[in-house]
Amino acid sequence: MTTEHPTADIVVVGSINADLTVTVARHPAPGETLLGGGGGITAGGKGANQAVAAALQGASVAMVAAVGKDPYAEPATEHLRSSGVNMSSVAEVDETTGLAVITVSEDGENNIVVVPGANATVDAAYVESRADVIAGAGLVLLQGEIPADGFAAAVRLATGRVVVNLAPVIEVDRASLLKADPIMANEHEAGLILEQLGAGIPSEEPTDLAQALLDAGFPSVVLTLGGAGALVADASGVTPIATPSVSSVDSTGAGDAFAGAFVARLVAGDDLVPAAEFAARVGAFSVTGHGAQASYPGPDDALPACE
Ligand code: RIB
């Protein structure tokens, strides 16, 4: 296929952020002021994180996204460029680059507030202007950091597999959302997705949540459970996925590392379960380093294994 914007095995239609990360002994209570450390800007955004994680595992990846014409664009795209992600469908627009303000506590847990900035311009009109790239992809990967109409346009244009990690959970077109195969979510997001679909939340039990997502109409589900691993669910049943036990310093972007590595293995031919088993090891590796993309393993890094 000859296209103006070259296509790739995986096209991520999603966000690029500059992450402003502050370290704190513990997260502040409402109304409280704490002293922290850090304050550096690193590359982030759920879309970019997932694109980088997939590219580092050898997948050919292109991004449909937008950044500002400001000083944050350069650090925000550093790893996209160095990991070989095709950037020809990343627009420079008259908005500020997306910004995420992240606090990381001593136990490695994070809180994140995102200012969309340029990501808000990845709407239906912009996504449609990249129709050839999206239609040419074997797999289109989406998150919840772009406008809902851009999300729906990307699903409509996709001719290959659609994988959705609806983080954060935004209100999207129901039929578009149900094209996700799989839908990837953590337990909190799974509850919000079920609510959005008007389906009941059966219980807090992960197996029940995964089954409820299947019952709501998704062909397959990956429910991520942090340090407890994940569940893969489809018509053949629900399979627990173990995760290696590691010492966490920063969990920022760990779910994105999982998602990117997971789709890299899917396009390489793996089924859902082996792809998720590999992704769990990549996610575990990522929490042992600081930041999002800077903590992701490349093909030569030794991944932790389950005991
Ligand atoms: O998932 C982690 C990411 O969420 C951060 O990189 C931040 O940019 C926000 O999008």
pLDDT in tens, 187-220: 999 999 999 999 988 898 999 999 999 999 999 9
Q: Read off the pLDDT of each residue in 77-84 and give the average, rounded to a whole number.
A: 98
Q: Please give the pLDDT value at position 4.
A: 55
45 C-alpha to ligand 1 centroid (Å): 4
Query: Which of 15, 16, 19 to probe ligand 1 with, by most ligand atoms within 8 A of CB?
Result: 19
Q: Which helix (H) or strand (E) holds 264?
A: helix 254-267
Dist. CA 222–CA 226, nearest whole Å: 12
pLDDT band for 5, please (50, 70, 90 cuts).
low
Kindly report the pTM of this predicted structure.
Answer: 0.96
46 C-alpha to ligand 1 centroid (Å): 5
All domains of the chain in start order, with CATH: 10-26+39-295 (3.40.1190.20)
How buried is residue 108: exposed, middle or buried, by Cβ count under 10 Å (0-12/13-18/19+)? middle
CB-based contact 169:193 (threshold 8 Å)? yes
207 C-alpha to ligand 1 centroid (Å): 27
Is residue 256 part of the annotated active site? The answer reads: yes
Show the CA angle centred on residue 157, arms to residues 257 and 55, nearest 5°. 25
Answer whether 49 contacts ligand 1 (Cβ < 6 A): yes
Determine which residue's CA is closest to atom 2 belonging to ligand 1: 253
Single out the residue of 268, 269, 277 nearest to residue 239, CA to CA: 277
Asked if omega into 240 is within 30° of 0 (cis), the reply is no
The single-letter code of the amino acid at 269 is G
> Which of the following is catalytic: 94, 215, 256, 300?
256
* Residue 6 clears pLDDT 80, i.e. is over it: no
295 is in an annotated binding site: yes
Dist. CA 233–CA 220, nearest whole Å: 6
Cα distances (Å, whole numbers) of residue 30 to 33, 81, 150, 175, 258 = 9, 38, 34, 38, 31
Q: Read off the pLDDT of each residue in 103-122 and give the average, rounded to a whole number.
A: 93
Answer whether 45 contacts ligand 1 (Cβ < 6 A): yes
Q: What would the two tokens of residue 147 be?
A: 């406008």
Q: Read off the pLDDT of each residue in 239-246 and give the average, rounded to a whole number.
A: 96
The single-letter code of the amino acid at 193 is I
Mean pLDDT of the chain: 95
Cα distances (Å, whole numbers) of residue 138 to 12, 221, 261 = 11, 19, 15
